[in-house]
Amino acid sequence: MTTTNSVAGEARDLPKEPTSHWILILVVATIVVWLAVLVWQVMVLPERVPTHFGAGGEPDGWSSKGGALAFSSLLPLTVFALIPLTSLLVLRAPEFINGPNKGWWTATAPRLRRFERLVREDLWLIVVVTVALLVAMQVGIVRAAESPDQRMPEELLFGGMAVFGVGLVAVMVRMYAGGRYAEQPDLD
């Protein structure tokens, strides 16, 4: 009888399944846009920056330029680093992963290796929509800093949240409604 840990050990020895090209292109494009906005912020932000906004985009918190840049750098970097690393749990501690058809996916090493790729790809898509929200907020901070009333434009405040919400729902629908985690005949 094989245990989850022995299956995981065997799965780690299998070649890693590559991430879909379109997902990698989306991730790289997101990184390029984020870095371009970060460079723009370095060039144009004043020394005092509105960084927190209430209802309607009213500024209610400020930071130094350095503080705003640290936030704009470190938060996306954290998202880029930590979320995809979560997929490593599939191969290191599959007992802690909860997903559709978990028993089927953890029964054999090839299935577990494929499950890791599926989870990794879905997590990368969550990273993309999360960083898109952060970039919208970065752009909004620059626009607010440049405006006389220092209000964040509502289209960036609410538009960024709407894109994030719609993107997250799309990823979830892809994960759970599209049969992505259904049993796959090529792995029987």
Q: Check: pTM over 0.75? Answer yes or no.
A: yes
pLDDT in tens, 149-161: 888 888 877 888 8
**Parent domain of 64:** 4-187
Residues linked to residue 59 through DSSP beta bridges, in sequence order? 53
CA distance linking residue 86 with residue 169, whole number of Å = 20
Residue 50 phi, psi dihedral angles, 5° rounding = -70, 125
What is the number of domains present in the chain? 1
Tens-place pLDDT, residues 53-112 = 887 778 888 999 999 999 999 999 999 888 778 888 888 888 888 888 888 988 899 999
